[in-house]
Structure 1
Amino acid sequence: MAEPFVETETCRTKCRWVAKVFGEFNRPRTTVRSLFYYALRRCEPDYPICGGFVGEIRVTRQFDESDASRLVKWATLASELGYIPRDALLEEVPGMHVLTPDRISSGAHAELWIDRSALNPLIWPVCNRHGITLVSVSGARLDDALKDLRSRATGGETLVLCMADLSPSGLSFVRALGNALRGMQVIHVALTPDQVARLHLPMVRADKKAADKHYRELLRSAGLDGRMMAELDALEVCYPGGIAGFLEGLIRDHVKGART
């Protein structure tokens, strides 16, 4: 009868660690990937692992990249056990999501497209304030999303801002969007190799099979390792004001009539 107790205490120890890191991060809501980058940045040797007998916490060490999948497990359990608020972890919701602003911008019809949905709650307030439609396409057919765009962009100029991870899949999304909307103004605003290099964003291993020659050369031209990738979630940790503050700057640079 002792084993379930030891296992439960082990789980609770790891969940308490997640709760401590979440509290230090001091964000009411965040993605697990953002929490991952914050944990990496801490450099504290306090991540609990099993040592000695299986299920017994006797060793701690610094959290590292190889712990990413475990963080998902313990963060989810920490939420279920009430160690962190249940709505604190923003999750991907598959499909196409279109958020329409309360007011329409006075200039061109502007939209921000992103291939992630978990970040929507963090960037939507910025888009809404500037009169920009937010479109997230997470595991959905791009063709369906494009048809929806054309129904909104009736007449006048249309500006499409595009955000994605600096990764093989992210750049594929950017290229596909640009190729499909040749008659519209499409600007890849983030993440670019230059941004990652300038902001010193942390990078993790990219999918070897997906990282083709073009991708590797693109990163190397900016002085980056072509085997790596950078994620938008890292901006929550590395940029003042997080990804929302980063987006504010992008809108001021690319959207005419943006509020200051």
Structure 2
Amino acid sequence: MTDAFVSSEVDRTKSRWVAKVFKEFGRPKTTLRGLFYFALSRSIADYPICGGFVGEIRVTRPCHENDGPKLVKWAEKAQRLDLLPANAILKEEPGEHTILPEACSSQRHRLELWLNRSAFNPLLAPVCARHGAVLVSSESISNNLVEQLLNRAACRTTILCLSDLSLKSFLFCDSLRAALAQARHRHAPEIRVHRVGLSPEQVVFWSIPMVSQEKGSKEASRQYKTHLKAYGLDHKKMAELDALEAFYPKGIAGFCEDLLTEYGKDISDTKEGA
């Protein structure tokens, strides 16, 4: 029996597991890391460890952190085998993305949602459209994004900022604030930036598991460690926005729906009291 045949049978076994977990998750579309966090949250010991004979399951165990990188392969195989819908897994799109609503929430006060992940745009664009909010996604804050923001900020603007809680991304919101402070004219309409996730408090409150991350510079590591210290979280690990898919009752779309509803209500209350 050839190694290629055995490997293909192992692929089928693992791919069936991925398809099963995706179906159990119950979301028509999600990111691969969102599926991974859901798999981590399951208490079922059904992750297959295969033997060398036509992909038979030698033993099963719960999914754990080290299985994350392998899901890329098994999900791709599952899609090729038609076990998983071709459009089920959302992927990052490089570059900067700004999605404008057809109608603004208000002529006197606008809402914007900024995040450091583009994969969620298909889930969040309809949510932002319902609330008349601008959606911006980019891995980092650029002068171009800030200039575009200032050009469209003809009235008071509230920005809700989301990023992974990681060495690489935890300063995303601070970077936006700093860039605005430097570029915004003092007579320009007010722009407020609110960090709304992921925060250490949210990770603790929702019991989100933190996972390994790449090492950063000593200074970044020091700042990140300080950021997490009061919450007893491991600065060598991270929590990604994808975790909201598994640990927030309605996923990241529901999380942002609730945020925009809350801040939209504050805007309405402010107008009524004006």
TM-score, structure 1 normalization: 0.90
Equivalent residue, structure 2, for 1:25? 25
Preserved CA contact (<8 Å) 2:10 2:56: yes
Equivalent residue, structure 2, for 1:189? 196
Equivalent residue, structure 2, for 1:233? 242
Deviation at 1:234, TM superposition (A): 0.9
Instruction: Please say if 1:254 is aligned against 2:263.
Output: yes
Deviations 1:1-29 (A, max 9, x none): 63332221111111111101111111100
**Aligned equivalents of 1:196, 1:20: Cα separation in 2:** 27
Structure 2 gaps, min length 5 = 185-190, 270-274
Deviation at 1:57, TM superposition (A): 4.3
**Aligned equivalents of 2:206, 2:59: Cα separation in 1:** 34
TM-score, structure 2 normalization: 0.86
Deviations 1:95-122 (A, max 9, x none): 1111111211114122111110111122
Instruction: Please say if 1:109 is aligned against 2:110.
Output: yes
Report SS of the residue matched to 1:109. strand
Deviation at 1:76, TM superposition (A): 1.6
Equivalent residue, structure 1, for 2:81? 81
Q: Which moved more, 1:215-224 or 1:234-243?
A: 215-224
Deviation at 1:85, TM superposition (A): 0.5
Instruction: Please say if 1:162 is aligned against 2:161.
Output: yes
**Aligned equivalents of 1:197, 1:60: Cα separation in 2:** 29
Report SS of the residue matched to 1:145. helix
Aligned residues: 256
Report SS of the residue matched to 1:48. strand
Preserved CA contact (<8 Å) 1:205 1:229: yes
**Aligned equivalents of 1:42, 1:91: Cα separation in 2:** 23
Deviation at 1:254, TM superposition (A): 3.0
The structure-2 alpha-carbon separation of the partners of 1:7 and 1:205, relative to structure 1 and needing over 3 Å to count, comes to closer
Report SS of the residue matched to 1:226. coil
Which letter does structure 1 place at the counterpart of 2:110?
Answer: H
Preserved CA contact (<8 Å) 1:31 1:90: yes
Preserved CA contact (<8 Å) 1:108 1:159: yes
The structure-2 alpha-carbon separation of the partners of 1:80 and 1:141, relative to structure 1 and needing over 3 Å to count, comes to farther
Equivalent residue, structure 2, for 1:64? 64
Q: Which moved more, 1:87-96 or 1:142-151?
A: 142-151
**Aligned equivalents of 1:112, 1:250: Cα separation in 2:** 10
Deviation at 1:169, TM superposition (A): 1.6
Equivalent residue, structure 2, for 1:205? 212
Equivalent residue, structure 2, for 1:130? 131
Instruction: Please say if 1:8 is aligned against 2:8.
Output: yes
Equivalent residue, structure 2, for 1:175? 174
Preserved CA contact (<8 Å) 2:116 2:172: yes
Identity %: 49
Equivalent residue, structure 1, for 2:272? none
Aligned-pair Cα RMSD in Å: 2.1
